[in-house]
Amino acid sequence: MTVGTDDIGYAGLPELAPEHRLRRLELAVTRRLDGLLHGQHIGLLPGAGSEPAGSREYRPGEDEVRRMDWAVTARTAVPHVREVDADRELSTWALVDSTPSMDFGTAEVEKRELAVAALAAIGFLTAGVGNRIGVHLLGAQTVRRFPPRAGRDHLLGLLRTVLSAPRGADGGPPPSLAAGIDGLNRAASRHGLAVVVSDFLDGVGETEDAEPEWEKPLRRLGARHQVLAVEITDPRELELPDVGLITLVDPETGLRREVATGDARLRERFAAAAAGQRRSVAGALRRAGAAHLALRTDRDWVADIVRHVHVQRRLAGAAPAGTACGGAT
């Protein structure tokens, strides 16, 4: 299949082979977003760098004495110096939800496909000299961790992995979103951009005022990093159509329930409960200090990203610092 040079959208992506999916995603990001949002990450301090990056043995004649790491030197009895990374180099950590609830989709794409698109946009827009991205993939049984590295090939490998992640529940319940966020916080030692891509359905209370289980971990993550929460939803999660008797299945527990969608009062209650649930998610994200980017499977995700970044920049007083996605947070 040949990808044409016309405007690249997202429709039809599930029918494409994996490599063509990734190529089409890259074209969508670079052609429709590049130039609108692309920026450069500006260091906080001039010079070689200021972010601690470990220690190494002292090299006489090469290293400055003022960079001596006296604590490590005392422990090892061998002279060591502190190493630093340039803080103008952005480290991005992403937690991507790939649990069974993300396999749902009734529009042009599934929620999982849209999560890959969001990760692609973040990855391509933050790509730059020295910038790195790492991913924690929250799957049906475990969390797979991929350390941050730079380069287009690394990013394409991450996207390919998310696309090919096993589907469906197999065995016990999947790891919780709260545990996944805690794991991301422990792994992301350097200050940078932390992105959580999920439907945020896990751990949400039955009442609108209940605090989701993942709110406190997200708040702890936000204390050290800029946090962008990408919420993925499908229109059928927000309202039921009048299509007669249907069977609803919880993708993570297998619980089944027959529902008569012809009942107007039931559809109204469902819509009200779904709206309350989304307000609960939005409130928790706001309290945690995370920037909230809402994407839907039936909308133009590129336009939503552009709109989100422009709003965030306007609220921030159009400050020039930060990358496209970093500035978005």
Asked whether residue 132 falls in the same domain as residue 71, the answer is no
Q: Dig out the tokens for 84 from the structure.
A: 């630093």
Asked whether residue 280 falls in the same domain as residue 310, the answer is yes
In terms of residue numbers, what domain contains 62? 51-85
Asked whether residue 230 falls in the same domain as residue 319, the answer is yes
Dihedral sign, Cα of residue 293, residue 237, residue 120, residue 215: positive
Asked, for residue 131, whether it belongs to a domain, the answer is yes
Asked, for residue 192, whether it belongs to a domain, the answer is yes
Distances (CA, A) of 324 to 34, 94, 312, 319, 329: 9, 16, 10, 12, 9
Asked whether residue 158 falls in the same domain as residue 60, the answer is no
Cβ atoms of 56 and 81 within 8 Å: the answer is: yes
What total number of domains does the chain contain? 2
Question: For residues 27 and 7, what is the distance between their CA atoms, to the nearest angstrom?
Answer: 9
Question: For residues 292 and 57, what is the distance between their CA atoms, to the nearest angstrom?
Answer: 44
Asked whether residue 98 falls in the same domain as residue 229, the answer is yes
Asked whether residue 69 falls in the same domain as residue 161, the answer is no
CATH of the domain at 284: 3.40.50.410
Half-sphere exposure for 137 (CA within 13 Å, toward CB): 24
User: What's the burial of 294, exposed, middle or buried (CB within 10 Å: 0-12/13-18/19+)?
Assistant: middle
Q: Dig out the tokens for 247 from the structure.
A: 């069977």
Asked whether residue 262 falls in the same domain as residue 144, the answer is yes
Q: What is the pLDDT of residue 196?
A: 96
Q: What is the pLDDT of residue 80?
A: 87
Edge-first strand order for the sheet with 226-233 is 143-149, 132-138, 91-97, 193-198, 226-233, 291-296
Q: What is the pLDDT of residue 67?
A: 79
Asked whether residue 177 falls in the same domain as residue 261, the answer is yes
Q: What is the pLDDT of residue 18?
A: 57
Asked, for residue 108, whether it belongs to a domain, the answer is yes
Asked, for residue 18, whether it belongs to a domain, the answer is no
Asked whether residue 211 falls in the same domain as residue 287, the answer is yes
Asked, for residue 168, whether it belongs to a domain, the answer is yes
User: What's the burial of 267, exposed, middle or buried (CB within 10 Å: 0-12/13-18/19+)?
Assistant: middle
Q: What is the pLDDT of residue 43?
A: 34
pLDDT, tens digit only, all 329 positions of the chain: 333 333 334 444 444 445 666 677 677 666 666 555 544 443 323 344 444 556 788 888 777 777 788 888 888 888 888 776 544 567 899 999 998 888 888 877 889 889 998 998 888 877 766 788 999 999 878 899 999 888 888 988 888 888 888 776 666 677 899 999 999 999 987 788 899 999 998 877 666 677 899 999 999 999 888 899 999 999 988 888 888 888 887 776 778 888 888 888 988 998 998 999 999 999 999 999 999 999 999 988 888 888 887 777 676 654 444 444 444 44
Asked, for residue 14, whether it belongs to a domain, the answer is no
Asked whether residue 117 falls in the same domain as residue 264, the answer is yes
Query: Which phi and psi (to 5°) does residue 163 adopt?
Result: -60, -35
Asked whether residue 141 falls in the same domain as residue 254, the answer is yes
Q: What is the pLDDT of residue 245?
A: 86
Q: What is the pLDDT of residue 101?
A: 86
Stated pTM of the model: 0.73
Asked, for residue 136, whether it belongs to a domain, the answer is yes
Asked, for residue 13, whether it belongs to a domain, the answer is no
Question: For residues 87 and 288, what is the distance between their CA atoms, to the nearest angstrom?
Answer: 24
Asked whether residue 70 falls in the same domain as residue 131, the answer is no
